[in-house]
Amino acid sequence: EADNSQALLSGKWKRISNSSSKMKYVAAYMLLALGGKESPSAEEVKGLLEKAGAEVDEEKLAAFIKGTEGKTADALIEEGKGKMKAVAGAAGGGGGGGGGAAGGAAAEEEKKEEEEEEEVDVGGGGLFGGDEGGGY
């Protein structure tokens, strides 16, 4: 039964490593760029992916390379940052507000509490200077 589970796991891994995700093309492209290729070609990306044991979908690779034509890896990263900012801005800032009617009363209570507080000298035993009793 252990052999059967190993076969199942290796089959799942094959499906994952050979998935049709665009990320493998992005990752290979960026690795080549980090290795010194200013603008890696489709053949270079394909070669790297095949060496890693991944299947290459020629159509997806061609579409990816078409989107990178005339751009350096640095330019693509900057373009991606702009897109991320746009997505983050469109997502909104979360739930805020609410409870506006009670806001004034809460502020009043907070103000009263602040007025009631008083400073308590906990001393420092001359640790931070400024205390009486001679300096060191």
User: Amino acid letter at 20?
Assistant: S
pLDDT digits (tens, 9 = 90+) for 93-117: 556 655 555 566 666 666 666 666 5
Mean pLDDT of the chain: 73
Q: Which residue would you say has higher pLDDT here, 134 or 34? A: 34
Determine phi and psi for 31, rounding to 5 degrees: -60, -45
User: Amino acid letter at 133?
Assistant: G
Q: Which residue would you say has higher pLDDT here, 126 or 73? A: 73
Which residues, 6+ apart, have CB-to-CB distance to 24 below 8 Å?
A: 49, 54
Question: Per-residue DSSP letters for 60-103?
Answer: HHHHHHHHHTT--HHHHHHHHHHHHHHHHHHT---S----HHHH
The two most distant CA atoms of the chain are separated, in Å, by 83
